[in-house]
Amino acid sequence: MLDDLNFSYDIVDVTEKPEFLEKYPIFTAPGIVINDKLEFTGIPKKQELIEKLNC
């Protein structure tokens, strides 16, 4: 979805960077962090994602 929205993002593999699990309680992949806040775990609905990206 982020590609479809032409939104740039980084993919972090938490098995390689476990410090992200200390900072964000991600129990389901994907965990989507926007502006240093965990906004979604799992796949959000497209409209919900758009709303969070526009804030």
Phi, psi dihedrals of residue 3, rounded to the nearest 5°? -65, -45
| pLDDT > 90: percent of the chain | 76
Q: Tell me: pLDDT of 42 over 80.
A: yes
Token pair in block for residue 27:
């129990």
What is the reported pLDDT for 55?
61
Q: Domain-by-domain residue ranges, the chain?
A: 1-55
Token pair in block for residue 37:
């806040």
- Please report, as a single letter, which amino acid is at residue 19: E
pTM > 0.85: yes or no = no
| pLDDT > 70: percent of the chain | 98
What's the pLDDT tens digit per position in 5-30?
999 999 999 889 989 988 998 888 89
